Amino acid sequence: MTLIPGTQPPANLEAYAAVLFDLDGVLTPTADLHMKAWSALFTAYLAELPDAQPYTDDDYYTHLDGKKRDDGVSAVLASRGIELPFGSPDDDESAETVSGLGNRKNAEFTRILHRDGIAPYPGSKALVDDLRSHGVPVAVVSSSKNARWVLEAAGLLPYFSVIVDGVVATEEGLPGKPAPDLFLDGARKLGVTPASSVVFEDALVGVAAGHAGGFGLVVGVDRGAGQQALLDAGASVVVDDLAVFVRTGAGS
């Protein structure tokens, strides 16, 4: 675990009224699956454009991590000076549109998830169990339209009565991260104030969203973005495993 110098994390989060978790990379290692799916999409797509810079993992952390799918596609294309029509959400995955590429990526993600399955991070599952056993309200706030499906596949869906995901964002017209609207909507639905709540995020745009929303504690979870980058984005503290917040003797 790494901390801002001179600070200590609350041992059990008792000072806060609720906890809001990002999903991919915080509760489940689906960020790894997303990375594979994005890599498969853009490695093939950019290879067809001889003048385009090849795709790398840095593109994931810079342009894709934590964003809505179509926002991520647009960001990668813009980084290469490529312009495509946006299209519509129901575009076929073969369509040369932003939505078409996004749907192509989603088809690859779905294939990988069906093939490999998913399980929650043990430390994250332990923290969720601990919070629920002490009556602390919890929510999932994710940019992904697959959030409910991933939660169900990981056995976590019954744990969360409040889920603000990419589907909700579309239905309610909420801008994606780094805007704070998704987290603010989650806090509102839990009936708590942002200042009294905690955000757990692994993506730089998600950390920035929690910071912009005025949340009482923004925990950066370092799954590859880097400690300093998470701190610079607005994290109050950076950890590499949520188990550090599980109170001693939890579940005994």
Closest CA to 183 of 139, 137, 135: 139
Q: Which residues are catalytic?
A: 22, 24
Contact between residue 124 and residue 242 where contact means Cβ atoms under 8 Å apart: yes
Q: Supply the pLDDT for residue 36.
A: 92
Q: Rg for the chain (alpha carbons), in Å?
A: 18
Q: What is the pLDDT of residues 200-243, one digit of tens each?
A: 999 999 999 999 999 999 999 999 889 999 999 999 999 999 99
Residue 66, pLDDT score:
83
Which amino acid is located at 185 in the chain? D
Instruction: Identify the structural domains of the chain with CATH numbers, from first to last.
Output: 18-29+119-245 (3.40.50.1000), 32-116 (1.10.150)
Which residues have a Cβ under 8 Å from the Cβ of 133 and sit 6 or more positions away? 250, 251
Q: Token pair of 9, please?
A: 């994390």
Per-residue pLDDT of the chain (252 residues; tens, 9 = 90+): 455 444 455 546 889 999 999 999 999 998 888 899 999 999 999 999 989 999 999 999 899 988 889 999 999 999 999 999 999 999 999 999 999 999 999 999 989 888 988 999 999 999 999 999 999 999 999 998 889 999 999 999 999 999 999 999 999 999 999 999 999 999 999 999 999 999 999 999 999 999 999 999 999 999 988 999 999 999 999 999 999 999 865 443
User: Residue 251: what pLDDT?
Assistant: 42
**CB neighbourhood size of 61 (10 A):** 18
**Complete DSSP assignment for the chain:** -B--TT----SS-TT-SEEEE-SBTTTBTHHHHHHHHHHHHHHHHHHTSTTSPPP-HHHIIIIITTS-HHHHHHHHHHHTT-------TT--TTSSSHHHHHHHHHHHHHHHHHHH-----HHHHHHHHHHHHTT--EEEE-S-TTHHHHHHHTT-GGG-SEEE-HHHHHHHTPPPTTSSHHHHHHHHHHT--GGGEEEEE-SHHHHHHHHHTT-SEEEEE-SSS-HHHHHHHT-SEEES-GGGGSPTTTT-
The pLDDT of residue 8:
52
Query: What pTM did the predictor assign?
Result: 0.80
Question: What pLDDT, on a 0 to 100 scale, did the predictor assign at position 11?
Answer: 47
Q: Is the peptide bond before 9 cis (omega within 30 degrees of 0)?
A: no
